[in-house]
Amino acid sequence: MSSPTFGLAGIMGWPVAHSRSPKLHNYWLEMYGLPGAYVQLPVAPGQLDLALPGLAALGFRGCNITLPHKVDTLKLVHEVDANAKRMGALNTLVVQPDGSLKGFNNDGFGYIQSLLDAQPDWRADSGPITVLGAGGAARAVVLSLADRGAKEIRLLNRTPEKAQALAAEFGAPVKALPWSQRHAALADVALLVNTTSQGMHGNPALELTLDALPRHALVSDVIYVPLETPLLAAARLRGNPTVNGLGMLLNQARPAFHAWFGVMPEITPELRRAVEATL
């Protein structure tokens, strides 16, 4: 009987040294007793077209794609999954049996799963949703909430044109509102999501007054450094349930690991603790 072959995967970006993905995937390789390694693949801007064709030749099963390559990779792979096409960005590549590359985006899956992990009976259609920010993370969050049946998504961004463009692209139920209305846009919502970089380590806190927010509303922040942003701390203090960004990070990795190594991995409390220790 032949033994399983050594599996290789990695994280391609510039820089990649700060990424928690090696910790995560190597933890799962060990947990499931699979021979393999997940390595850093630092690829400078301008080198992507040289690096990608090398993956199959080097025996990689695939890799994650991070900044600044998430959009440029779309044009350089042989096939793009329908969901990644709609997101306009990739975060995962899988080497196909014929050596060609197929691109996926699991950020939306990771986001929805993080809400379900926190509240198993959570539903996207249980009330209006307010999303702050209109960058890359917002695309994944808004699209996945709309796909889960959200009926009204109020989208507010400091630069209004970006929110308007997303609303025009995704259509109903997404409505762009002026940034100045963000405090009032919390009335009646079942879910508030911060996808801006405000509140992240090194950045000022998001300027937001929570007075209009119903106390039962779920408050989610996609930031995971720190685990509790000033927004989440303020929400917790007034009694709102909260979800931090670590669950999105951990859950987006699961379908990628499955595609490369054949096991849908579980997020155990020990794994959470191991990754939290690196934050």
CB of 68 to ligand NAP, least distance (A): 11
Return the number of the residue (250 or 259) whose C-beta is nearest ligand NAP.
250
Residues 219-248 that bind ligand NAP (CB under 6 A): 222-224, 245, 248
**Does 195 interact with ligand NAP (rule: CB under 6 A)?**
yes
- Of 77, 87, 249, 259, the one binding ligand NAP (CB under 6 A) is 249
**Does 200 interact with ligand NAP (rule: CB under 6 A)?**
yes
- Tokens matching residue 8: 């290789």
- Whether 85 is catalytic is no
If phi > 0 it is left, if psi is from -120 to 50 it is alpha, else beta; for residue 101 that is beta
**Does 158 interact with ligand NAP (rule: CB under 6 A)?**
yes
Cis amide bond preceding 226, omega within 30: yes
Query: Long-range contacts of range 71-76, CB-CB < 8 Å, 24 or more positions apart?
Result: 72/48, 73/48, 73/103, 74/103, 76/48, 76/49, 76/52, 76/101
**Does 136 interact with ligand NAP (rule: CB under 6 A)?**
yes
Q: Tell me which of 23, 70, 162, 175 is the catalytic residue.
A: 70
**Does 267 interact with ligand NAP (rule: CB under 6 A)?**
no
CB of 54 to ligand NAP, least distance (A): 26
Q: Which residues bind ligand NAP (CB under 6 A)?
A: 107, 133-138, 157-159, 162, 195-198, 200, 222-224, 245, 248-249, 252
Q: Which residues are part of the catalytic machinery?
A: 70
